[in-house]
Structure 1
């Protein structure tokens, strides 16, 4: 049994997609980040960055106590190794996947996230910041589009790199991007959207949070944090 501590964000979707694809037994524990549930001490005990997603593997391979893991990229890599799925063992193929997983973690996710923030949520419109992140998102779409030329999936075979990147492309309209400008990415996006496991993951998200909104109070929780 995998316990998934989750909310309906792109990073949350990555892990639910994997769990659906792998057919693992799992239970979702919704963490409403707009209400501050990510600061629950029990959650912080294994997710000290107070961010979702996180998991607890109730039956780790070493037979020991439940194993908690935070950071979506680390979770995907752990689950891939646990199940022997979606991450090759041969070094060349493995690092083809991992470099694109880390590309998403270090590039596409953070840059698209800043795009979301300044375009959608910032209390004042800052043209320079908006243009900066919309353009960088566009550049990254171009990188992914080029990689997908002649490939069905990012690293050739379907992998955790695809699961990590897809949820960050889903809100392309909010990111002020046009998929038709990126034909190889657009074809991949349609391919991903048609996967039954991806559809199941997003249906579960709708059941948990059917109408995502960020209120003024939620803004203070999500965007106003300090070390204190």
Structure 2
């Protein structure tokens, strides 16, 4: 056996080991991602209750207490949430919104996409009844020697959802407004007429009348003033 043969065989093995890159170096560096918003942070575009025509509110909840936020979308604005991490911006334009908060533009800024209200399939409207619900003057008793404003309030009753045109008429006036009807009933705009006068306290109190009509449904009503 040649005593010099073994060292010679080790030289290529050593060179091969030195040339091989470490396993860690061969792995790709992890991709940095923008931090996600806290799981609790929520933004919603909602239909404002009791509004007609319909209005929309943007509601925020679950944000860090006192956090300054920037809203971008159909409208752009900045606000600060309250101690509970909540805030509501009323009467915003319908559209897509995103909330940005925390960090800087390129320093871990977080964002939340705002949810939109579910789409509602239109349903044909059918008005089955109209009602004059209230008639009033500015005060219970009025001076009947001068013309007084008399206000009629009403509502439409029916099924479906959509725009409905109706008619108010009375005392020589007529209006034909429309309203976004939502079943089962929706209030009309008020109708105001001027009362006639009486010349003497012994004369009968003045009377006014009005008619509310939508489609084939009609409700007439007379009203007698209470004179002071």
Q: What TM-score do you get using the length of structure 2 for normalisation? A: 0.19
Structure showing greater Rg: 2
- Which structure has more relative contact order (CA 8 Å, sep 6+)? It is 1
Q: What TM-score do you get using the length of structure 1 for normalisation? A: 0.19
Q: If each structure's helix is expressed as a fraction of its own residues, which one has the higher value?
A: 1
